[in-house]
C-alpha cells in the first residue's frame, strides 16, 4: 500500500448508543459527523472536553465499536472487520488501561508480545519505560503512572505502524510524563502515525502536529496548532506569558485593558489587544519592581481561546 | 522507538517494521496456557478446582449417600465428582475470571491485539481443557488410589461427554459473564454450582430425585453429564441422549453468548 495514503481516515462518523432506559428507550447519538485524517510520521490529537466523543471515535477506529454511519478506514481497511494481520500493525492503549490486576507487569507484557511474530525485545522495552523497577509486583499495586507506562509498552511491543493513545497523560507523575512524551516524539520520528486524545490543552500544544477539536460528537475545527491559534478575527488578541518570582500583584492602572492572571505560582498571563507600548510599560514595571523574568513568550491566541470561541465553554 | 541500539550504519534501529501476527494456533495455545496458569495460580480457583472435589470424593466414600446406586461407593462417586470438576472449571471459575476481565477492560484490550475476539474465546476453551486435564489427573488419580476401577469400555464415551460438557458449561459461563456485572456473575455462578451439585443430577443420579422434579432435572446439562459419565464409567454404556442434551446446551448457550455478550 502506498505510504502516501493516510494511516487513518474517518468521514462523517455516526454512532448511536442505546436504547437508554432513562430516555424512554430512545437512542442517543453520541457521534454525529466526526471526520479526521491521521498521517504517518505525525502526532494527531483529538482535543475535546470530557464527553465530547473522543473515546467513542477512537473505539470505532480501533474496531471495538461498529460505526452506525460514515466511513472509517484504518490502514486502508475496515477496522470492524480487522484481520489479525491488521491488528498486528496497530497498537492500542485504552483509557482505562485494560490491565488484569492480578498479573505481574512483565508477565503481561511477555504474553502480549507472544501474540506477534516479531515483537520488540521485551527486556529492552521494559527498561526503556522503566517497567523493570516494578516488574515483579502484581499490577493492582502499581501507581497510575506505572500502569500507563505498562499500557504504553503493551501498545508498542508488536512494532505497530499506527498507535492509538487514549488520554496518555492521565494520572502521570512528572517523571512518567517526560518518559511518555519523549517516546511519543520518537515514535513520530520513526514514521509511526500517533493518534491521541486529550482534554489537556498543554499536551496538545506540546505534542500535536495536527489537531482535531471534537465537540458534541462532531469535528468542529482542525489544523496545526499554529493555524488554529492564528489571529483569524484580526482583533489583535495576543497572549503574553512570563515567568518570574511568584506573588507579583499587578497595579490596577497597569494595562487595565488586558486580562491578567497568575496561572501557577510564578507563571503570569496577560491576554487581550496587546500593543508594543503595552510591552514597554510592562518592562518598565518589571524594572521598577526589580524583577527580571526568566522567560517571556508572546503568541497569538492560545488553543484555550480557540476552544472557548468554538464551544462557548471551558475545556475543563 | 529506537531502543538505543545503533545499527552498524549509525542509523537507529527502526521500531516501525509493520507488526506481524503470530500464527493462529500459536496465539490460541499461548493464550490458553496463560489463562490456565492464571487459574491454577489463583488460590480461590484452586480450592474450587482441586480441594472441593477431593473433599467431595472423600465424603462420598466415607458416607453411605451413594450406597443405593452401586456395589462400590468409589465407582459411583468418581464419575459424579469429575462432572463436578467440569462445572467448577468451565462454568464457575472461567465465568468469574471472564466477568472481572470484562470489568477491567482486559477483554477489550486483548481483542485489539492479533489474538482478537475469536482467539480470546478459543484460548479460554483451551484453558478450560488444560485445567480439566489437571483435575482429571489429580482427582482421577486420587480416586484410583481409593480403589476406583472405571469400566474400560466407557473411557471413550466418557471423554466425549467431558468434551461436550466443558463446551456447554464454558458457553454458559461466558453467557453469564458477558451479560451480568462481575459481582452478580460471582454470585450466580457459585449459587448455580451449589444448586446443581446438590440437586442437579451431578453427584446423585437424577432418577433418585422426586418424580415431579426428575423430568426437569434430566434435561439439565449437569444431569446429562453426571448420569452420562456414570453410565459410561460404571456400566460401560454409551448414553446418546446425554450427548444430545449436552450438545443442545452447548449450541444454545453459544448462540445466546454470541448474541448478548457485552465486551465492555
Q: DSSP string spanning B24-87? A: HHHHHHHHHHHHHHHHHH-HHHHIIIIIHHHHHHHHHHHSSTTGGG-S-HHHHHHHHHHHHHHI
- At A225, is the pLDDT very low, low, confident or very high (cuts 50, 70, 90)? confident
Q: What angle do CA B72, B75, B77 make, to 5 degrees?
A: 105
Pick from B21, B22, B112: CB nearest A62: B112
Q: Is A197 on the interface with B (CB under 8 A)?
A: no
Task: Please tell me the least confidently modeled range out of A20-24, A95-99, B163-167.
Answer: A20-24
SS3 content of chain A, % helix, strand, coil (to 5): 35, 30, 35
Q: Which residue of A has its CA nearest to B114?
A: A84
Residue A207: how many CB atoms within 10 A of its CB? 24
| Residue B231, C-beta contacts closer than 8 angstroms, at least 6 positions apart | B154, B157, B237, B238, B239, B242
Please tell me whether residues A223 and A238 are part of one structural domain. Answer: no
Q: Which domain holds residue A296?
A: 232-300
Residue A1 has pLDDT above 90, yes or no: no
Beta-sheet pairing, A210-215 with A42-47 = parallel
pLDDT of B12 reads: 30
Q: Tell me if residue A42 falls in helix, strand or coil.
A: strand
Q: Tell me if A191 is assigned to some domain.
A: yes
Is there a contact between A64 and B42 if contact means CB atoms under 8 Å apart? no
Q: DSSP secondary-structure letter at B93?
A: I
Q: B34 to chain A nearest CA, in Å?
A: 7
Residue B58 has pLDDT above 60, yes or no: yes
Residue ranges of B 186-245 with Cβ closer than 8 A to chain A: none
Instruction: Indicate the average pLDDT of chain B.
Output: 90
- Rounded to whole angstroms, the Cα distance separating B21 from B43 reads 33
Q: Tell me if A305 is assigned to some domain.
A: no
pLDDT of A305 reads: 74
pLDDT, mean of residues A280-308 = 86
Question: What proportion of chain B, given as a percentage, has pLDDT over 70?
Answer: 93
pLDDT of A49 reads: 85
Q: What is the CATH number of the domain that holds A28?
A: 3.40.50.300
Please tell me whether residues A196 and A217 are part of one structural domain. Answer: yes
Q: Tell me if residue A69 falls in helix, strand or coil.
A: strand
For B79-95, give one letter per residue: b (16+ CB within 10 A) or e.
bbbbbbbbbbbbbbbbb
Q: Is B13 on the interface with A (CB under 8 A)?
A: no
Please tell me whether residues A169 and A296 are part of one structural domain. Answer: no
- Of these ranges, A95-99, A267-271, B235-239, the one predicted with the greatest mean pLDDT is B235-239
pLDDT, one tens digit per residue, over A233-272 is: 556 778 888 998 888 888 878 888 888 888 778 888 888 8
Q: Is A24 on the interface with B (CB under 8 A)?
A: no
Pick from A91, A117, A156: CB nearest B21: A117
Q: Tell me if A51 is assigned to some domain.
A: yes
Residue A316 has pLDDT above 80, yes or no: no
Is there a contact between A85 and B106 if contact means CB atoms under 8 Å apart? no
Q: Which of A239, A238, A225 is nearest to A307 (CA)?
A: A225
pLDDT of B110 reads: 96
Instruction: Indicate the average pLDDT of chain A.
Output: 89
Residue A99 has pLDDT above 60, yes or no: yes
| Number of compact structural domains in chain B | 1
Q: Which of A259, A208, A254 is nearest to A229 (CA)?
A: A208
Question: Grid coordinates 456395589 are at which residue?
Answer: B71
Please tell me whether residues A26 and A118 are part of one structural domain. Answer: yes
Please tell me whether residues A100 and A21 are part of one structural domain. Answer: yes
Instruction: Please tell me whether the peptide bond between A43 and the residue prior to it is cis, using omega within 30 degrees of 0.
Output: no
Q: Tell me if A177 is assigned to some domain.
A: yes
Question: What proportion of chain A, given as a percentage, has pLDDT over 70?
Answer: 95
Stronger pLDDT, B106 or A49, i.e. the higher one? B106
Q: Is A152 on the interface with B (CB under 8 A)?
A: no
Is there a contact between A118 and B17 if contact means CB atoms under 8 Å apart? yes
Residue ranges of A 54-93 with Cβ closer than 8 A to chain B: 62-64, 82, 84-85, 87-92
pLDDT, mean of residues B3-16 = 39
Please tell me whether residues A292 and A216 are part of one structural domain. Answer: no
Is there a contact between A100 and B115 if contact means CB atoms under 8 Å apart? no
C-alpha distances out from residue A153 to A111, A144, A156, B69, B96, Å:
12, 14, 5, 58, 27
Q: Is A103 on the interface with B (CB under 8 A)?
A: yes
pLDDT, mean of residues B179-193 = 95
Q: Tell me if A24 is assigned to some domain.
A: yes
Enter the C-alpha cell of residue B85.
470438576
Is there a contact between B106 and A99 if contact means CB atoms under 8 Å apart? yes
Contacts of A161 in chain B (CB under 8 A): 16, 18-19
Stronger pLDDT, B223 or B2, i.e. the higher one? B223
Please tell me whether residues A141 and A263 are part of one structural domain. Answer: no
- At A23, is the pLDDT very low, low, confident or very high (cuts 50, 70, 90)? confident
Q: Tell me if A291 is assigned to some domain.
A: yes
pLDDT, mean of residues A179-197 = 94
| Number of compact structural domains in chain A | 2
Total length of chain B: 264
- At A20, is the pLDDT very low, low, confident or very high (cuts 50, 70, 90)? confident
Q: Is B3 on the interface with A (CB under 8 A)?
A: yes
| Residue B32, C-beta contacts closer than 8 angstroms, at least 6 positions apart | B122, B123, B124, B125, B126, B127, B129, B130
- At A299, is the pLDDT very low, low, confident or very high (cuts 50, 70, 90)? confident
pLDDT, mean of residues B61-79 = 91
Is there a contact between A160 and B112 if contact means CB atoms under 8 Å apart? no
pLDDT of B50 reads: 93
Stronger pLDDT, A46 or A262, i.e. the higher one? A46
pLDDT, mean of residues B149-161 = 96
pLDDT of B252 reads: 97
Q: Is B7 on the interface with A (CB under 8 A)?
A: no
Q: Which of B202, B238, B198 is nearest to B220 (CA)?
A: B202
Please tell me whether residues A249 and A219 are part of one structural domain. Answer: no
For B150-188, give one letter per residue: b (16+ CB within 10 A) or e.
bbeebeebbeebbbbbbbbbbbbbbbbbbbbebeebbeb
Question: Please, what sign has the CA dihedral across residues A184, A188, A192, A198?
Answer: positive
Q: Which domain holds residue B193?
A: 24-250
Residue A2 has pLDDT above 50, yes or no: no
pLDDT of A39 reads: 96
Residue ranges of B 30-49 with Cβ closer than 8 A to chain A: 30-31, 34, 38, 42
Residue B6 has pLDDT above 70, yes or no: no
Question: What proportion of chain A, given as a percentage, has pLDDT over 90?
Answer: 57
- At A302, is the pLDDT very low, low, confident or very high (cuts 50, 70, 90)? confident
Please tell me whether residues A164 and A257 are part of one structural domain. Answer: no
Is there a contact between B109 and A92 if contact means CB atoms under 8 Å apart? yes
Q: Which of B102, B164, B110, B156 is nearest to B132 (CA)?
A: B164
- Rounded to whole angstroms, the Cα distance separating B11 from A72 reads 35
Q: Which of B254, B258, B232, B217 is nearest to B162 (CA)?
A: B232
pLDDT of B211 reads: 86
pLDDT of A247 reads: 85
C-alpha distances out from residue A234 to A145, A300, A301, B171, Å:
42, 10, 11, 64
Contacts of B263 in chain A (CB under 8 A): 64
Residue B18 has pLDDT above 80, yes or no: no
Please tell me whether residues A181 and A241 are part of one structural domain. Answer: no
| Residue B127, C-beta contacts closer than 8 angstroms, at least 6 positions apart | B31, B32, B33, B34, B35, B36, B38, B39, B94
pLDDT of A315 reads: 52
pLDDT, mean of residues A185-210 = 92
Answer yes or no: are the C-beta atoms of A208 and A225 closer than 8 Å: yes
Beta strands, E only, A203-299: 210-215, 218-223, 237-243, 259-264, 267-273, 295-299
pLDDT of B207 reads: 84
Amino acid at each position: 500500500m502506498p505510504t502516501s495514503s493516510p494511516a487513518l481516515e474517518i468521514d462523517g462518523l455516526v454512532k448511536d448508543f442505546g436504547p437508554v432506559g432513562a430516555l424512554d428507550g430512545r437512542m442517543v447519538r453520541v457521534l454525529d459527523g466526526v471526520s479526521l485524517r491521521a498521517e504517518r510520521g505525525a502526532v494527531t490529537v483529538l482535543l475535546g472536553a470530557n464527553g465530547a466523543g473522543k473515546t467513542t471515535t477512537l473505539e470505532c477506529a480501533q474496531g471495538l465499536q461498529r460505526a452506525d454511519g460514515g466511513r472509517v478506514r484504518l490502514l486502508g481497511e475496515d477496522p470492524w472487520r480487522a484481520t489479525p494481520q491488521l491488528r498486528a500493525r496497530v497498537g492500542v492503549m485504552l483509557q482505562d488501561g485494560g490491565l488484569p490486576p492480578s498479573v505481574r507487569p512483565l508477565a503481561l507484557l511477555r504474553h502480549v508480545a507472544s501474540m506477534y511474530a516479531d515483537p520488540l525485545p521485551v527486556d529492552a522495552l521494559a527498561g526503556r519505560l522503566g517497567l523493570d523497577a516494578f516488574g515483579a509486583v502484581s499490577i493492582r499495586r502499581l501507581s497510575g503512572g506505572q500502569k500507563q507506562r505498562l499500557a504504553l509498552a503493551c501498545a508498542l511491543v508488536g512494532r505497530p505502524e499506527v498507535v492509538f493513545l487514549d488520554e496518555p497523560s492521565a494520572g502521570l507523575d512528572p517523571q512518567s510524563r517526560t518518559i511518555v512524551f519523549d517516546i511519543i516524539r520518537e515514535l513520530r520520528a520513526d514514521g509511526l502515525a500517533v493518534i491521541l486524545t486529550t482534554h489537556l490543552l498543554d499536551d496538545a500544544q506540546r505534542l500535536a502536529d495536527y489537531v482535531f477539536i471534537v465537540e458534541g460528537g462532531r469535528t468542529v475545527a482542525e489544523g496545526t496548532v499554529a493555524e488554529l491559534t492564528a489571529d483569524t478575527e484580526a482583533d489583535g488578541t495576543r497572549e503574553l506569558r512570563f515567568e518570574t518570582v511568584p506573588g507579583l500583584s499587578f497595579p490596577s492602572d497597569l494595562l487595565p485593558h488586558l486580562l491578567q492572571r497568575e496561572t501557577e505560582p510564578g507563571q503570569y498571563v496577560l491576554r487581550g489587544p496587546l500593543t508594543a507600548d503595552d510591552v514597554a510599560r510592562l518592562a518598565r514595571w518589571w524594572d521598577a519592581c526589580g524583577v527580571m523574568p526568566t522567560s517571556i513568550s508572546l503568541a497569538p491566541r492560545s488553543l484555550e481561546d480557540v476552544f472557548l470561541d468554538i464551544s462557548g465553554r471551558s475545556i475543563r | 522507538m529506537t531502543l538505543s541500539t545503533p545499527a552498524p550504519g549509525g542509523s537507529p534501529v527502526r521500531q516501525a517494521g509493520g507488526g506481524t501476527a503470530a500464527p493462529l494456533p500459536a496465539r490460541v495455545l499461548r493464550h490458553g496456557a496463560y489463562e490456565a496458569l492464571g487459574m491454577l495460580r489463583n488460590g480461590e480457583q484452586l480450592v474450587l478446582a482441586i480441594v472441593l472435589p477431593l473433599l467431595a470424593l472423600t465424603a462420598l466414600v466415607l458416607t453411605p449417600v451413594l450406597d443405593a446406586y452401586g456395589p462400590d461407593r468409589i465407582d459411583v462417586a468418581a464419575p459424579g465428582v469429575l462432572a463436578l470438576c467440569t462445572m467448577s472449571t468451565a462454568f464457575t471459575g472461567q465465568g468469574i475470571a471472564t466477568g472481572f476481565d470484562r470489568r477491567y477492560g482486559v477483554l477489550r484490550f486483548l481483542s485489539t491485539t492479533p489474538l482478537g475476539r475469536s482467539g480470546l474465546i478459543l484460548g479460554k476453551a483451551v484453558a478450560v481443557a488444560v485445567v480439566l486435564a489437571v483435575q482429571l489427573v489429580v482427582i482421577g488419580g486420587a480416586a484410583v488410589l481409593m480403589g476406583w476401577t472405571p469400566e474400560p469400555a466407557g473411557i471413550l464415551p466418557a471423554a466425549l461427554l467431558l468434551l461436550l460438557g466443558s463446551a456447554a458449561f464454558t458457553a454458559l459461563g461466558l453467557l453469564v459473564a458477558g451479560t451480568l456485572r462481575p459481582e452478580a456473575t460471582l454470585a450466580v455462578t457459585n449459587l448455580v454450582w451449589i444448586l446443581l451439585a446438590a440437586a442437579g443430577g451431578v453427584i446423585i443420579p437424577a432418577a433418585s430425585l422426586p418424580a415431579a422434579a426428575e423430568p426437569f432435572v434430566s434435561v439439565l446439562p449437569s444431569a446429562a453429564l453426571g448420569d452420562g459419565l456414570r453410565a459410561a464409567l460404571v456400566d460401560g454404556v454409551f448414553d446418546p441422549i446425554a450427548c444430545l442434551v449436552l450438545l443442545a446446551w452447548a449450541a444454545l448457550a453459544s448462540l445466546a453468548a454470541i448474541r448478548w455478550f457485552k465486551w465492555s
